[in-house]
């Protein structure tokens, strides 16, 4: 018997308010031309009153449960990847649990910023394959708009809010998560971080990033981890149908694809519509491509992400 974590369904949620580059140019010294040329971003969604990481996460989870055709109370594990929890504690995953009406399950948050969804997916997969869980909801959800410095044009134009989710179940067979690979290198804290926290300043803080240095690391680390994770499955880049990447910058997506010899058409791109939604970006892109029919059952997917820490990782899935 070969137990794999199979994706039964996907879902996503975006805040109501959609903000264009021109809207931002009214607030900070920037332009649609600069943002599109440097990042590929055209729009982002920004959470309004009553919209939080947990409410977006629960909406995405509900959609994934519907797509999977299963009821919430059959889930025994919720992992929420986020760097913008509703409260410092308890874990926002427990709030999602309550919103979904699940009385008892395991629920916790994972903090790995933009690669959080890959970290959460890997932990859920391990728990499923060891028998610690049978059905899991894995969510990436963020409200980065609440930790942006809206005076800093080098960061505030890059991020957006949203959530994406998958429902996983352990099943015997060839489909499911084939491999995951995670990395962290804590020496690069000062390249991408938040300048506050409960144990240092007692404040929430704002995102700070040395963008061009993060860019250089991202292209190298992402290409390497994708090759690494594929090699553990015996597959090569030629076997890959779709790459579902972290959506930070269209130029990073192009450069990474080129390094692996993949065509631009095989990369799922949503950065133009959602901007960088941190932990939400991979599951949001996955759900988009599942719902529009690009991703089909049986296809080989590579998911990848890199973010603050640095942390980075990739997964190979037979969908
Ligand atoms: O999600 C985690 C992973 N994050 C990433 O992967 C992000 C990686 N980095 C990037 O995507 C890019 O580095 C950025 C999009 C953040 C920046 O692009 P860049 O081509 O690296 O630009 P830069 O930081 O080198 O800045 C170039 C110029 C600067 O002006 P000077 O010094 O050359 O006169 C900036 O001040 O662009 C200026 N600039 C802006 N101009 C208009 C920076 N932000 C803006 C802005 N509008 N919003």
Residue partners of 92: CB distance under 8 A and separation at least 6? 53, 54, 57, 80, 82, 85, 86, 109, 141
Cβ pair 299, 24 in contact under 8 A: no
Cα angle value 94/45/86 (rounded, 5°): 25
Which residue's CA is minimally distant from atom 25 of ligand 1?
212
Same domain, 139 and 7: yes
Same domain, 96 and 191: no
Same domain, 232 and 281: yes
Cα angle value 245/247/251 (rounded, 5°): 95
Same domain, 18 and 133: yes
Residue 196: give its domain's CATH number. 3.40.47.10
Joined together, the tokens standing for residue 258 give 């080129």
Q: How many domains does the chain have?
A: 2
Find out whether the beta carbon of 215 lies less than 6 Å from any atom of ligand 1. Answer: yes
Residue 178 three-state SS: strand
Which of ligand 1's atoms lies nearest the C-alpha of 276?
Answer: 1
Joined together, the tokens standing for residue 141 give 């959800």
Residue 203 three-state SS: coil
Joined together, the tokens standing for residue 32 give 């649609």
How far apart are alpha carbons 36 and 31 in whole angstroms? 9
How far apart are alpha carbons 282 and 246 in whole angstroms? 5
Find out whether the beta carbon of 281 lies less than 6 Å from any atom of ligand 1. Answer: no
Crossing angle (nearest 10°) for helices 250-260 and 32-39: 20
Domain limit, last residue, from 139, 172, 205:
172
Find out whether the beta carbon of 112 lies less than 6 Å from any atom of ligand 1. Answer: no
Structure confidence at residue 259 (pLDDT): 86
Domain limit, last residue, from 156, 172, 188:
172
Same domain, 146 and 188: no
Cα angle value 77/82/85 (rounded, 5°): 100
Joined together, the tokens standing for residue 180 give 């995951």
Structure confidence at residue 243 (pLDDT): 96
Element (H, E) at 8: strand 3-13
CA separation, residue 202 to residues 59, 126, 144, 148 (Å): 30, 35, 18, 17
Same domain, 24 and 168: yes
Query: What is the mean pLDDT of each successive set of 10 residues along the chain, which is 319 residues long?
Result: 95 98 98 98 98 99 98 98 98 98 98 98 98 98 98 98 98 96 98 98 98 95 96 96 97 88 94 98 98 98 97 98
Same domain, 206 and 229: yes
Catalytic positions, written as ranges:
114, 246, 276
How far apart are alpha carbons 150 and 168 in whole angstroms? 37
Same domain, 67 and 143: yes
How far apart are alpha carbons 171 and 255 in whole angstroms? 36
Mutation probe of ligand 1 site: the residue of 32, 81, 154, 221 with most atoms within 8 A of C-beta: 154
Find out whether the beta carbon of 39 lies less than 6 Å from any atom of ligand 1. Answer: yes
Find out whether the beta carbon of 57 lies less than 6 Å from any atom of ligand 1. Answer: no
| 67 Cα: distance to centroid of ligand 1 (angstroms) | 38
User: Which burial class, exposed, middle or buried, applies to 207 when counting CB atoms under 10 A from its CB (0-12, 13-18, 19+)?
Assistant: buried
Structure confidence at residue 10 (pLDDT): 98
Joined together, the tokens standing for residue 286 give 């996955």
Task: Find the distance separating the first CA and the last CA of the chain, reported in whole Å.
Answer: 19
User: What is the number of other CB atoms lying within 10 angstroms of the CB of residue 238?
Assistant: 9
Find out whether the beta carbon of 114 lies less than 6 Å from any atom of ligand 1. Answer: yes
Same domain, 167 and 194: no
Q: 255 is in which domain, residue-wise? A: 177-318
Mutation probe of ligand 1 site: the residue of 212, 306, 307 with most atoms within 8 A of C-beta: 212
Same domain, 236 and 189: yes
Same domain, 51 and 182: no
How far apart are alpha carbons 150 and 163 in whole angstroms? 22
Read off φ and ψ for residue 96, nearest 5 degrees: -60, -45
Find out whether the beta carbon of 211 lies less than 6 Å from any atom of ligand 1. Answer: yes
Which residue's CA is minimally distant from atom 43 of ligand 1?
154
Mutation probe of ligand 1 site: the residue of 38, 158, 253 with most atoms within 8 A of C-beta: 38
Structure confidence at residue 193 (pLDDT): 98
Structure confidence at residue 75 (pLDDT): 98
Residue partners of 153: CB distance under 8 A and separation at least 6? 28, 29, 30
């Amino acid at each position: 018997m070969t137990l794999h974590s199979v994706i039964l369904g996907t879902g996503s949620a975006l805040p109501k308010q959609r903000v264009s580059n021109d809207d931002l140019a009214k607030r900070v010294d920037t332009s649609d031309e600069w943002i599109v040329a440097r990042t590929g971003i055209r729009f982002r969604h920004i959470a309004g009153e009553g919209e939080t990481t947990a409410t977006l996460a629960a909406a995405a989870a509900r959609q994934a449960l519907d797509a999977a055709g299963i009821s919430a109370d059959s889930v025994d594990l919720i992992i929420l990847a986020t760097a913008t929890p509703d409260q410092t504690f308890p874990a926002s995953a427990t709030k999602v649990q309550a919103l979904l009406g699940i009385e008892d399950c395991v629920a916790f948050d994972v903090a790995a910023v933009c690669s959080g969804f890959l970290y959460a997916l890997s932990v859920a997969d391990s728990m499923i394959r060891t028998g610690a869980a049978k059905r899991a909801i894995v969510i990436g959800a963020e409200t980065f708009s609440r930790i942006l410095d809206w005076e800093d044009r080098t960061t505030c134009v890059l991020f957006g809010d949203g959530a994406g989710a998958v429902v996983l179940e352990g099943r015997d067979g060839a489909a499911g998560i084939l491999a995951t690979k995670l990395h962290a290198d804590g020496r690069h804290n000062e390249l991408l971080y938040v300048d506050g926290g409960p144990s240092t300043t007692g404040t929430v803080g704002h995102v700070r990033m040395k963008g061009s240095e993060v860019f250089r690391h991202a292209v190298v680390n992402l290409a390497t981890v994708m090759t690494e994770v594929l090699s553990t499955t015996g597959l090569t880049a030629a076997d890959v149908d779709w790459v579902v990447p972290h959506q930070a910058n269209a130029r990073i997506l192009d450069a990474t694809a080129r390094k692996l010899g993949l065509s631009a058409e095989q990369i799922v791109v949503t950065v133009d519509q959602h901007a960088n939604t941190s932990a939400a970006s991979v599951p949001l892109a996955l759900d988009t491509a599942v719902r529009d029919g690009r991703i089909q059952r049986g296809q080989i997917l590579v998911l990848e992400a890199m973010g603050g820490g640095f942390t980075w990782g990739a997964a190979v899935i037979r969908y």
